[in-house]
Structure 1
Amino acid sequence: MAVGIFFLFLTSLGMLGNSVLLCGFIIADFSGIRVKKPTDLIVKHLTSANFIVLFRGVQQTLAAFSQNYYLDSVSCKLTLYFHRVSRGVSLGSTCLLSVFQAITISPSNSKWAQIKIRASRIIGPSLGLCWASQLLLYGFIPVYTTDLWGGRNVTGIKNLEYCVFMNPGRLISTLTVILYTCNDFMFLGMMMWASGYMVFILLNHKQMVKHIHRSLSPRSSPENRATQSILALVSSFVIFYVVSIVFTSHLSVLDITTRWLPNTGVAMTACFPAFCPFLLLRHYTSIFRLHCTCSYKTTIFTHVF
């Protein structure tokens, strides 16, 4: 019951936040109240990937509340496969967002100045490459995934409550864990580098305009607020995904697992997609402010007419 309530709360919270963020972008695009930014496409892909990651929380909730809940073979393959793919795309999209922001705010005399001009044009191909690479990387999962009935006569299985993952052997499991871990840490490393570079630029800019800030109100400077936002996003991202990588790798190499281990791994994977939209909404409040302003003006005009 406690596991079911936890997954229900986490999944509902994450889907609500991602729905609000995605609906804000859709309304802004169709109404034309806001100029599109290159990062909008990255955030849309990130939100879509988060939705798919959180969908597995629905399966975990149903499995926790009902002991007789299980999926058929095709549903098991699709659920686990797209959960891992969307998790990888969420990692890649967040990494791409950080790298693009780091290139955008880099000084004009830096070595990134030439890339800054072409950065917005390679966002679409980069996102397509991210999806394609993750679809190929995790193509191994559907081969060894089946339903509970199909895995009854198979030795060395990992019971995921509503699905079964067949053990391919210690050598293949170790190789896949190494491959998947390298993929995850590559994205994490690039994101930490980009975020550290942005913090370095913002702190240098703060030192350059220190005399201006002294003459202003005692509120915190824009550089401090931006630095705090970056550090909050990066620290939460790294903590949740590092713990998720540890549990996922541990689950992949163990022959016998307890019920709490896969539940904890899924919960850690879902934590960042659940809280990510609320961190991003702070930077996209202008969408809702403009939409509310336009709605208010339209209502006043209608009453006057």
Structure 2
Amino acid sequence: MISNDIVVGLFLLFQTVFGVLGNSFLMGLYIITFFIGPRLKPIDFLLIQLAFANDLVLLSKGIPQTMAALGYTNFLDDVGCKLVFYFHKVARDLSRCTTCLLSGFQVITLSPSISQWAKLKARPTKYIVQFCFFCWTFHLLANYNILVLMKDSQGSSNITERKNFVYCSAKFPVSLYIGVFVFLISLPDVLCVGIMVGTSGYMIFVLYRHHQRVQYIHGHSLKPSCSPETRATQTILLLVILFVSFFSVNSILVSYIYYEKSSSFLVHTSTFLAACFPACSSFILIVGDSHVRKYWLIFWEKMITQF
């Protein structure tokens, strides 16, 4: 009979391959378009960063967690554990931060010209590259503690409390420090999720008001097509809802794992839930974003004309 760990490992393997292909396709499309197509919009650089961060999340955690679920638990040494968890945490924070920035920029784009946001519409787009650089620098420096806490699964210490993550473990000086550590690493997540929820509520309000206005102008018998801005807003809104949903469910599971004696099955399940957004977000953008479809058509037109 196949164990639960092996079943979750197979799901993790499929999720990793599926997500990496989608994010790599999206990132490659934007990069190719940058060289052969029209000029990319400033917000497209955020989408490139999101796709790259999601790829890094899936590769840094999906592959080792799949190997652990399939029974290979001692394949990383101390340095390997530190680097895998460090880059996974940095990539995960970048994915969260980029999604938050996307929702914020879309709110500014949607804001009426008579509002106070109108003065800010032209400014943020000029500094998107700087925002991306700041996110990378901040998260690379902020997650240095991962390099101190993580150890290989064979390590031992009599003065520390250890939490086992199947193929690696984390050390904590005292029990109280676990709560402080979880609070500190969760605070940026909670702040970003709060911003996402607020911006999502505003976008839903703007879309509803726009729908009511269009219905009044065109009447109930006519179904006008959505504008590119509306479609982009709906896509980003779906991304935010997806992120917040998986984040909320996984946070409950992670809290249980930190404070209770966890099984390998729960650890693998937590990894699977945490990787659902990185694996699915690229396909939401590919299907829902009109700019992606436009770049795809331009790419194929260029390829056809060359041959």
Q: State the TM-score, normalizing by the size of structure 1.
A: 0.89
Report if the CA contact (8 A) 2:103-2:196 is conserved.
yes
Correspondence for 1:303: none
Distance in 2 (CA, whole Å) between partners of 1:116 and 1:8 is 42
Correspondence for 2:54: 50
Q: Secondary structure at the match of 1:209?
A: helix
Correspondence for 1:169: 174
Distance in 1 (CA, whole Å) between partners of 2:173 and 2:294 is 50
Offset, 1:184:
0.3
Instruction: Specify every segment of 5 or more residues in structure 2 that has no aligned partner in the other structure, as ranges.
Output: 1-5
Correspondence for 1:302: none
Aligned residue identity for 1:201: V
Of 146-155 and 92-101, deviating more is 146-155
Offset, 1:135:
2.5
Report if the CA contact (8 A) 1:170-1:253 is conserved.
no
Correspondence for 1:62: 67
Count the aligned residue pairs.
297
Instruction: Specify every segment of 5 or more residues in structure 1 that has no aligned partner in the other structure, as ranges.
Output: 300-305
| Superimposed CA distance per residue, residues 238-279 of structure 1 (whole angstroms, 9 cap, x where no aligned partner) | 11111222222333333x221122112211110000000001
Correspondence for 1:257: 262
Cα 1:186–1:240 change in 2 (3 A) is same
Report if the CA contact (8 A) 1:154-1:166 is conserved.
no
After TM superposition, the structure 1 = structure 2 runs for residues 139-154 of structure 1, keeping only pairs within 5 Å, are 139-151=144-156
Offset, 1:154:
7.0
Cα 1:245–1:128 change in 2 (3 A) is farther
Distance in 1 (CA, whole Å) between partners of 2:294 and 2:239 is 19
Aligned residue identity for 1:267: F
Correspondence for 1:293: 301
Q: Secondary structure at the match of 1:49?
A: helix
Of 137-146 and 273-282, deviating more is 137-146
Q: CA RMSD in A?
A: 2.3
Report if the CA contact (8 A) 1:70-1:147 is conserved.
no
Correspondence for 2:16: 11
Q: State the TM-score, normalizing by the size of structure 2.
A: 0.88
Correspondence for 1:235: 241
Q: Does 1:127 align with 2:132?
A: yes
Aligned residue identity for 1:124: V
Counting aligned pairs with the same residue, the percent is 38
Offset, 1:298:
2.8
Q: Secondary structure at the match of 1:35?
A: coil
Correspondence for 1:246: 252
Of 198-207 and 185-194, deviating more is 198-207
Correspondence for 1:96: 101
Distance in 2 (CA, whole Å) between partners of 1:213 and 1:14 is 41
